[in-house]
Amino acid sequence: MNLGTRRMDLKAILSGDRLALSRLLTQIEKDSEQGRQALNELFPHTGKAHLVGVTGAPGTGKSSLTNQLAKHYRNPPDGPARSVAVVAVDPSSPFSGGAVLGDRIRMQDLAGDPGVFIRSMATRGSLGGLATATAGLVQGLDAAGYEIILIETVGAGQAEVEVAKLAHTTIVVEAPGLGDDVQAIKAGILEIADILVLNKADRPGVEAAERALRGMLNLGHPIERVFNHHGRRAEIEVPHEESPTDKLWLPPLIRTVSTEGQGVPELAQAITEHRAFLETSGELQRRERARLESEVHDLLQKAMMNRWRQDTSDERYQRTLEQIAARKLSPRQAVAQLLNGSAPQ
Amino acid sequence: MGEEKIRVLVAKPGLDGHDRGAKVIARALRDDGMEVIYTGLRQTPEMIAEAALQEDVDAVGLSILSGAHMALVPRILELIRANGQDNVALFVGGIIPDDDVPKLLEMGVAGVHGPGSSTLKIAEDIRRVVRQAA
């Protein structure tokens, strides 16, 4: 814990020592002083990896797809192999605080490859599909030199969209049979997709699912279309002034069968294209900035909460809670009182 | 904030395909507030040691029903230690003949829990050993 050993550890992490990295990730997850210090010092080494979020409902095949993507990056048909880290998040029990983290089961193909590092983490009470420490873990892995970092969220419902703030490219995984076209136009998870994957494409219902998803994509991102309407050629024009096509990203829809690796090269290609789009359109800087801003926001929130906790006696807090329970104080009034240290108006 | 989370890897080395016991243990440790990394069936010693390293676990629980424990356990222990994880406690469950229990403990296994063990006791045992190692 002295300065000397800590610096040595960081050096080890930067030079690829997996045990040192693993222990660092634990410290970051614990939000310990040591972990925070290390993150501060590693920060200049971050920002090199491409962060890919993989999200979708439970059982759509996120883990299998993550496994296939990692395998693809390790053995690309063209070009050099790239190192891959995976951060897989599963939920903590709201009752015991425990968790069963089972994403590794689908990632056994990656065992024994020194160019792959997989870390499972529990949400530890955090909502939104990721854990509070996920961003920190990703930074640690980024600093350690992993080129592609795949971030797999918990099985997400409709509103777990945190991953879009963290990742450069967000993949939303769907499967046939999960809902009709009204599900597809609801706000939430489908909106954050940079790439939509229709997994389990060998299952029945794939056509209907694709139609619903495509309908949603076309509504959200108007594109030029020409079609026949009652025998007359109709052209639909899209206003050009503000969105030249080279600055517009249309989320592609890719069919995959992740158990067999079908569609995975196409998916990897789409990720590469999205990266290129981010770089040429200036969107990368914008997202990077938004990401860092959201991180600062979260840290600030936590720090303020902690500071408030330190300044407020537990006794006073409990007393206020009792007043609320007795309906003498509304929750809003209680907050005003606790923050100002004064009686409600 | 609160107690530190204990992280446990639950794995089934070797070739027997019965993972009910491992799943019961995983679930019980979850209910005890631990974070269980469950890796499933047919793991090689190398895979288990690698997962233990990447997940920085406090303990590893092995379920072995095949009778190969006297070959698998020392190999796994050796690999985990070779990775520099001296503090990781190894627990073994499954079908382990009474005669082999002292031999396993002597090798450095922290505890052996066969069929009929109370899951609460197992969780307690893990907690105690991990706390001592910390």
Whether residue B44 and residue A111 make contact (CB cut-off 8 A), yes or no, is: yes
Task: Give domain status of residue A37, yes or no.
Answer: no
Of A19, A22, A93, the CB nearest to B30: A93
How many interchain CB pairs under 8 A, A with B? 77
Cα A95 → chain centroid: 25
Q: Nearest residue on chain A to B39, judged by CA atoms?
A: A105
Give the span between the Cα atoms of A198 and A69, in whole angstroms: 15
Considering the domain architecture, whether residues A199 and A73 belong to the same structural domain is answered as yes
Task: For residue A36, give the 3-state DSSP assignment.
Answer: helix
Q: Which of A266, A281, A296 is the last residue of a domain?
A: A281
Q: What is the extent of the structural domain holding A329? A: 315-345
pLDDT at residue B110, as a whole number: 96
pLDDT tens digit string along A55-95? 998 889 999 999 999 999 999 998 899 999 999 999 999 88
Whether residue A98 and residue B38 make contact (CB cut-off 8 A), yes or no, is: no
Considering the domain architecture, whether residues A238 and A107 belong to the same structural domain is answered as yes
Give the span between the Cα atoms of A267 and A279, in whole angstroms: 19
Task: Give domain status of residue A5, yes or no.
Answer: no
Considering the domain architecture, whether residues A333 and A225 belong to the same structural domain is answered as no
pLDDT-flagged residues of chain A (< 50): 1-5, 243-245, 342-345
pLDDT tens digit string along B41-61? 899 999 999 999 999 999 999
Considering the domain architecture, whether residues A232 and A117 belong to the same structural domain is answered as yes
Question: For residue A258, what are the β-bridge partners?
Answer: none
Give the span between the Cα atoms of A66 and A60, in whole angstroms: 12
Give the span between the Cα atoms of B134 and B128, in whole angstroms: 10
pLDDT at residue A157, as a whole number: 72
Phi, psi of B49 (to 5 degrees): -65, -40
Task: Give domain status of residue A227, yes or no.
Answer: yes
Whether residue B38 and residue A122 make contact (CB cut-off 8 A), yes or no, is: no
CA distances from residue A281 to A168, A223, A249, A284 in whole angstroms, order as listed:
13, 18, 9, 8
Domain count, chain A: 2
Considering the domain architecture, whether residues A333 and A236 belong to the same structural domain is answered as no
Considering the domain architecture, whether residues A252 and A334 belong to the same structural domain is answered as no
Q: Are B34 and B7 in contact (CB under 8 A)?
A: yes
Encoded tokens for A109: 């193909």
Q: Please name the residues in contact with B44: beta carbons below 8 A apart, sequence gap of 6 or more.
A: A111, B13
Q: How many CA atoms lie within 13 A of A72 on its CB side?
A: 21
pLDDT at residue A181, as a whole number: 62
Encoded tokens for A31: 């939000």
Of B30, B38, B54, the CB nearest to A118: B54
pLDDT at residue B118, as a whole number: 94
Q: How many CA atoms lie within 13 A of A156 on its CB side?
A: 33
Considering the domain architecture, whether residues A221 and A328 belong to the same structural domain is answered as no
Give the CATH number, domain containing residue A239: 3.40.50.300
Q: Which residues of A touch B (CB under 8 A)?
A: 18-19, 22-23, 25-26, 30, 92-93, 95-102, 104-105, 108, 111-112, 117-120, 122, 124
Considering the domain architecture, whether residues A99 and A159 belong to the same structural domain is answered as yes
**Which of A134, A127, A4, A118 has the alpha carbon at shortest distance from A63?**
A118
Domains, chain B, in order of start with CATH, read: 7-133 (3.40.50.280)
pLDDT at residue A230, as a whole number: 61
Give the span between the Cα atoms of A215 and A114, in whole angstroms: 42
Whether residue B38 and residue A105 make contact (CB cut-off 8 A), yes or no, is: yes
Whether residue A96 and residue B84 make contact (CB cut-off 8 A), yes or no, is: no
Q: How many CA atoms lie within 13 A of B30 on its CB side?
A: 22
Task: Give domain status of residue A67, yes or no.
Answer: yes
Task: Give domain status of residue A273, yes or no.
Answer: yes
Q: Which of B19, B38, B119 to mutate to test the interface with A (most CBs of A within 10 A)?
A: B38
Considering the domain architecture, whether residues A157 and A277 belong to the same structural domain is answered as yes
Q: Please name the residues in contact with A105: beta carbons below 8 A apart, sequence gap of 6 or more.
A: A63, B38, B39, B40
Q: Is the dihedral of CA B91, B97, B101, B104 positive or negative?
A: negative
DSSP string computed for B60-94: EEEEE-SS-HHHHHHHHHHHHHHTT-TT-EEEEEE
Considering the domain architecture, whether residues A158 and A207 belong to the same structural domain is answered as yes
State the pTM of this model: 0.86
Map tokens 């240290």 to a residue.
Answer: A341
Considering the domain architecture, whether residues A206 and A126 belong to the same structural domain is answered as yes
Considering the domain architecture, whether residues A265 and A332 belong to the same structural domain is answered as no
pLDDT at residue B82, as a whole number: 97
First to last CA, chain A: 49
Give the span between the Cα atoms of A303 and A305, in whole angstroms: 5
Give the span between the Cα atoms of B112 and B79, in whole angstroms: 19
pLDDT tens digit string along B61-99? 999 999 999 999 999 999 999 999 999 999 999 999 999
**Which of A119, A152, A161 has the alpha carbon at shortest distance from A28?**
A119
